Structure 1
Amino acid sequence: MSKEHHYLTQLRWTGNRGEGTTSYRAYDRDHVLTAGGKPEISASSDPSFRGNPQRYNPEELLVASLSSCHLLWYLHLCAVNGVVVVAYEDSAAGVMQEAESGSGRFSEVVLRPVVTVKEAGMREKAMALHHEANQFCFIANSVNFPVRHEPVIAVAG
């Protein structure tokens, strides 16, 4: 039997400069995201769309969500398959294509995890588990663009 999981977030717009949305240039795109009493995330739009470059934007948060989801599944799969990971870093990159109408969509996200395993004999399995992690990642399964992986496996010491 399948289970449903529900996620609740709150958003509060903080960009009213006193004129509201009287014009496209009259307001800031700043807003605050929260979820269940956790620390606030200060967000805005991409600077290309009049956003605050000091705040996260939705596009960055989408790329970060894919990276985080992959990490969590990957570590789980390594743990149950006897691969001891001692360090993991990812430099993820997303490409969004903007249409002439102003709409847009992501065309791909590339995850570039650098994984350090405890022993050289774990490298092959560590590499293979990236594909499996992608198959399990809830976020990757929910997007309509490819999520590619360019992993590097290093050995500790």
Structure 2
Amino acid sequence: MSREHHYQVTVRWTGDTGSGTATYRGYGRDHDVLVDGRPPLRGSADPAFRGTPDRWNPEELLVAALSQCHMLTYLSLCARAGVVVTGYTDAASGVMREEPGNSGRFAEVVLRPEVTVADAAMVDRAEALHQQAHEECFIARSVSFPVRHLPVVR
């Protein structure tokens, strides 16, 4: 039996400088990402595309979503397998390539989780669970580019 989960997000553009999109350089890329009951997420374009550098851009959010999904799936698998994780950090990175025609796409995302487990006897199982987490991660299963993972377990 399958279940559906629905997500509602509002994106509100806040970058009108007075003349709308009359010119490419004349409008701001700033916007707010809104979900009921949560603080707004301040977004913009990547600075390479005239965005504001101190705001989140969609490309960073995509990499973050993949990293978060892998971590949450992995921690769940570890808990069910009796692997006690006491620390987890991921230095994830993504590569997006621009293409002719003002377009582009992600070439890949690489996750680099560094995991600490409670007992050295858990290391092998903890390492193996990264592959299962990758196969089960909802976000990784939804993208059309490679998501690699290079875990380190201590």
Shorter-chain-normalised TM-score: which range?
Answer: over 0.9
Segments of 5+ residues of structure 1 without an aligned counterpart are none
1:40-88 per-residue CA deviation (whole Å, 9 max, x = no partner) reads 1000000000000110000000000000000000000000001000000
Q: In structure 1, what is the equivalent of residue 98 of structure 2?
A: 98
1:76-123 per-residue CA deviation (whole Å, 9 max, x = no partner) reads 000000100000000000000100212000010000000000000000
Q: In structure 2, what is the equivalent of residue 67 of structure 1?
A: 67
Q: How many Å apart are 1:39 and its aligned residue?
A: 0.9
AA at the equivalent of 1:44: S
Following TM superposition, the consecutive aligned residue runs of length 4 or more in structure 1 with deviations greater than 2 angstroms are: none
Distance in 2, matches of 1:13 and 1:136, equals 34
Structure 2 residue 64 is the aligned partner of structure 1 residue 53: no
Q: In structure 2, what is the equivalent of residue 111 of structure 1?
A: 111
Distance in 1, matches of 2:14 and 2:153, equals 43
How many residues in Structure 1 have an aligned counterpart in Structure 2? Answer: 154
Distance in 2, matches of 1:133 and 1:101, equals 36
SS of alignment partner, residue 75 of structure 1: helix
Distance in 1, matches of 2:7 and 2:145, equals 23
Distance in 2, matches of 1:34 and 1:127, equals 36
AA at the equivalent of 1:39: P
Distance in 2, matches of 1:70 and 1:39, equals 24
Q: How many Å apart are 1:37 and its aligned residue?
A: 1.8
Distance in 2, matches of 1:22 and 1:72, equals 43
Normalised by the length of structure 1, the TM-score is 0.97
Segments of 5+ residues of structure 2 without an aligned counterpart are none
Alignment of 1:102-141 (within 5 A): 102-141=102-141
